[in-house]
Amino acid sequence: GHDCEDAFVRASKEAGGEVAGTVRVPLVNPDFIPYMQRVKDAKPDALMVFIPAGKTATAVLKAFGDLGLAKSGVKLIGPGDVTTDEELENMGEAALGVLTVHHYSAAATRPANQAFVAAWKRDYGASETPNFVAVGGYDGMAAIMYAIKEQKGKLDPDRTMELLKNFKDPNSPRGPISVDPATRDIVQNEYLREVRRVGGKLANVEIETVGTAVKDPWKELNKK
């Protein structure tokens, strides 16, 4: 979270933006209303939020909506953790229009993702939606299967590590991915997403690919 705050402040100022203020909130049973009131009083153009995915993020969105910040002209933005796919319906109308950047959305129209989502709903129920954790598990299993197949089931530890650190999949549900052999970090696309209604349900709609073959953003930022 501190890294995200630092990166956002630095990038905003470098782009000519003005940061009205920053605040860190307690994450154990927090009441977000006082913080949202401070934002409303400050009248910024946007509120950038970094918060744990799930119920905590939902509480943030509800406070944002209850105080009418969107109606007052404040745009809520943040990383994809803020609007994880499986939590959107719990967030309700307050999530509409929220902009995030992330490497995955269950609403993506890539054929590989559509097949992944269909298989997920078939196995876990039509009302269930995979999120970025699910696709991470899927890609991890794909890498393991790749290493097994390349060695025809007879695994050598050194050969396995060599295969995994050079793993690539151009057709992951999240888009093309690879492993950086020098750092072992995932290399992937990053997408700008907006929460919209699609077929009567809330969805993170990918509206632009803002980065291709992106390595760890924090490490890359601090190389400059």
pTM to 2 decimal places: 0.92
pLDDT over 90 at 170, yes or no = yes
Domain-by-domain residue ranges, the chain?
A: 2-102, 111-179
* Confidence at 219, pLDDT banded by 50, 70, 90: confident
Mean pLDDT for the stretch of residues 82-104: 95
Which CATH code fits 2-102?
A: 3.40.50.2300
Of 146, 184, 150, the closest CA to residue 165 belongs to 184
Judged by average pLDDT, the poorest of 18-32, 173-187, 194-208 is 18-32
* Confidence at 222, pLDDT banded by 50, 70, 90: confident
Mean residue pLDDT across the chain: 94
What's the pLDDT at 99? 98
pLDDT over 70 at 175, yes or no = yes
pLDDT over 90 at 217, yes or no = no
User: Rounded to an integer, what distance in angstroms lies between the CA atom of residue 19 and that of residue 2?
Assistant: 15
| The amino acid at 138 | Y
Q: Are 179 and 169 in contact (CB under 8 A)?
A: no
Mean pLDDT for the stretch of residues 187-213: 97
How many C-beta atoms surround the C-beta of residue 8 within 10 A? 18
pLDDT over 80 at 218, yes or no = no
Percentage, residues of the chain above pLDDT 70: 100
Residue with tokens 């930022």: 221
Percentage, residues of the chain above pLDDT 90: 83
Mean pLDDT for the stretch of residues 59-79: 95
pLDDT over 70 at 124, yes or no = yes
| The amino acid at 193 | R
Q: Are 67 and 41 in contact (CB under 8 A)?
A: no
DSSP state string for the chain: -HHHHHHHHHHHHHTT-----------SS---HHHHHHHHHH--SEEE----TTHHHHHHHHHHHHTTTTTTTPEEEEEGGGG-GGGHHHHGGGGTT-EEEES--TT---HHHHHHHHHHHHHH-TT----HHHHHHHHHHHHHHHHHHHTTT---HHHHHHHHHT-EEEEETTEEEEE-TTT--EEEEEEEEEEEEETTEEEEEEEEEEEEEE--HHHHHTT-
Could you tell me which residue, 223 or 186, shows the higher pLDDT? 186
Residue with tokens 């794909």: 142
